[in-house]
Amino acid sequence: MSNLIPPHGGKGLTCCLLEGAELEAEKKKAAGLKQIPITPRVKGDLIMMGIGGFSPLTGFMTKADWKGVCDNYLLADGTFWPIPVTFDVSAADAAAIKVGEEIALVDPQTNVVMATMKVTEKYEMTEADKKFECEKVFMGEGTPTADEFWKIAKDDHPGVQMVMNQKEFNLAGPVKVLSEAEYPVKYKGIYQRPSESRKIFDDRGWKEVAALQLRNPMHRSHEYLAKIAVEVCDGVFIHSLVGNLKAGDIPADVRVKCIDSLVKNYFVEDKVVQGGYPLDMRYAGPREGLLHATFRQNYGCSRMIIGRDHAGVGDFYGMFEAQTIFDKIPCPSEPGKALLCTPLKIDWTFYCHKCDGMASLRTCPHGKTDRVLLSGTMLRKMLSEGGDLPDHFGRDEVVVILRQYYEGLTDKVEIKTHKAATGA
């Protein structure tokens, strides 16, 4: 019997991915259904529903679910959920689809049918609805009023841009997932289903597992966070996003090489598991921190490492807002409906020359001039501009990998820094 935390929602892993004869039959049926194109974000959400990563979700949200999640972090049935998971279509497609009809969801880049869906509801998303979602999901302490938020969000917040560019209608309903796309092959040995990570943890006899979220290369601060987690838990799950990022972010295969090098040279290997998941970043800061904890619970993790500016973008969020939000969310009393994965809150970490090692604001009494402030954004900016990194910013093995990547780039993207990256 497993000692791991149970999946979120109280229903075990709810996996919508078909296999075997059932999969082949659904593929044949899908060929005769209306073919509706999907975005990369929807593709990632489908795969997560397929493999149980989004348990207990088994389809795209109704309007009641969407509103409840935006307003109160709760699905219509009272289950905690922090961010809308919706499927947008054009007004023309919505008009051509009847409630009760089955449709095929197609990745337009590969022409692969990713899933079939039974449409149980369709609802319009007006400009006001989209703004409501953006203010609820993306507005943080960095822009405390709606006026301040909208002055910069439309131009500078990729999550806001994604929502505002969504099509006019959402479709709701259960899905049957037919493909995991390129992930099992492209990221073999890294991409995992929750059932697979849980088996690894169980085989190692782990009970308390901490997840480290990564979308940047793993620098010394990430390494330090992971090692703190190893000290207080049975092991750490270094879990990288292998879905789509924004322009200027470093591709997953490069980040995986960096992590491999660090684990091999600087960790006790049987205390670390590396994995990857197929979502796109939503750049929702505190809300995304909650989403990270929610699906990490499905992967078998009881703790979610939350450091400085978790999943942040620009200066939209307070430095530790992704920590304090865990203290404000509802806690449903019905079994299984509350979030059980708890945050491992860690203060701002850095290398201190006077301490002669990694430290945090809780442990280091020295000043800014003695510290090497570590940030994934600063790391990318310095490397993209060909600059030298300060001593102790990153491990030499990792810096070599990253320099090779940047030297091979022909198109450069400007990397914007922000207060959380510079220590301002």
**Per-residue b or e along 391-406, where b marks 16 or more CB atoms closer than 10 Å to that residue's CB:** ebbbbeebbebbeebb
Residue 262 tokens, joined:
């660090």
Model pLDDT for residues 319-349, shown as the tens digit of each residue: 999 999 999 999 999 999 999 999 999 998 9
- Residue 246 above 80 pLDDT? no
Q: Out of 181, 205, 225, pick the residue that ends a domain.
A: 181
95 and 219 assigned to the same domain: no
For residue 197, the model assigns a pLDDT of: 98
- Residue 93 above 90 pLDDT? yes
| DSSP labels, 44-109 | HHHHHHHHTTTTT--EEPPHHHHHHHHHHSB-TTS-B--S---EEE-HHHHHH--TT-EEEEEETT
For residue 399, the model assigns a pLDDT of: 86
Residue 43 in any domain: the answer is yes
Residue 282 in any domain: the answer is yes
Task: Report, as an integer, the average pLDDT of 113-117.
Answer: 98
223 and 354 assigned to the same domain: yes
Residue 164 to residue 133: CA distance in whole angstroms: 9
Phi then psi for 127, rounded to 5 degrees? -60, -40
For residue 373, the model assigns a pLDDT of: 79
Residue 72 is a catalytic residue: no
98 and 208 assigned to the same domain: no
119 and 195 assigned to the same domain: no
At how many degrees (to 10) do helices 63-72 and 127-138 cross? 40
CATH code where residue 79 lies: 3.10.400.10
Residue 180 to residue 175: CA distance in whole angstroms: 14
Identify which has the larger pLDDT, 411 or 18.
Answer: 18
Residue 110 to residue 312: CA distance in whole angstroms: 31
In this prediction, residue 424 has a pLDDT band, given cuts at 50, 70 and 90, of: very low
325 and 199 assigned to the same domain: yes
Specify the number of domains making up the chain: 2
Task: Report, as an integer, the average pLDDT of 261-270.
Answer: 92
| The one catalytic residue among 198, 216, 308, 395 | 216
* β-strand pairing of 272-277 with 235-241: parallel
326 and 350 assigned to the same domain: yes
For residue 393, the model assigns a pLDDT of: 76
What is the number of alpha carbons within 13 Å of residue 160 lying toward its C-beta? 23
Mean pLDDT of the chain: 92
At how many degrees (to 10) do helices 285-299 and 127-138 cross? 70
For residue 385, the model assigns a pLDDT of: 77
- Residue 247 above 70 pLDDT? no
Residue 380 is a catalytic residue: no
Model pLDDT for residues 122-149, shown as the tens digit of each residue: 999 999 999 999 999 999 999 999 999 9
171 and 224 assigned to the same domain: no
| The one catalytic residue among 193, 198, 215, 255 | 215
**Per-residue b or e along 94-130, where b marks 16 or more CB atoms closer than 10 Å to that residue's CB:** beebeeeebbbbbbeeeeebbbbbbbeebbebeeebb
Cis bond before residue 286 (omega within 30° of 0):
no
Give the residue from 308, 328, 332, 329 showing the smallest Cα distance to 319.
308
Residue 279 to residue 48: CA distance in whole angstroms: 8
339 and 394 assigned to the same domain: yes
Q: Residue 59's domain spans which residues?
A: 20-125+166-181
Task: Report, as an integer, the average pLDDT of 220-229.
Answer: 92
* Kind plus residue range of the DSSP H or E element containing 121: strand 121-124
173 and 236 assigned to the same domain: no
What value does the CA radius of gyration of the chain take, rounded to a whole number of Å?
21
Residue 160 in any domain: the answer is no
Judged by DSSP in three states, 340 sits in coil
For residue 391, the model assigns a pLDDT of: 79
What is the number of alpha carbons within 13 Å of residue 344 lying toward its C-beta? 22
What do you get for the CA distance between the two ends of the chain, in Å? 50
Identify which has the larger pLDDT, 380 or 103.
Answer: 103
CA dihedral sign of residues 344, 346, 349, 354:
negative
65 and 194 assigned to the same domain: no
Contact 125, 164 (CB under 8 A): no
Q: Which of these ranges, 32-46, 158-172, 341-355, 393-407, has the smallest mean pLDDT?
A: 393-407
Residue 157 in any domain: the answer is no
Residue 146 in any domain: the answer is no
170 and 247 assigned to the same domain: no
93 and 207 assigned to the same domain: no
For residue 382, the model assigns a pLDDT of: 77
Residue 197 in any domain: the answer is yes
**268: how many CB neighbours lie within 10 A of its CB?**
10
Q: Which of these ranges, 102-106, 118-122, 314-318, has the smallest mean pLDDT?
A: 314-318
For residue 417, the model assigns a pLDDT of: 46
* β-strand pairing of 357-360 with 349-352: antiparallel
DSSP class of residue 178 equals -
Model pLDDT for residues 372-423, shown as the tens digit of each residue: 876 666 776 777 777 777 777 788 898 889 888 888 876 654 545 445 444 5
Residue 141 in any domain: the answer is no
CATH code where residue 203 lies: 3.40.50.620
- Residue 273 above 60 pLDDT? yes
Instruction: Name residue 14's amino acid.
Output: T
Residue 292 in any domain: the answer is yes
Residue 135 to residue 70: CA distance in whole angstroms: 9
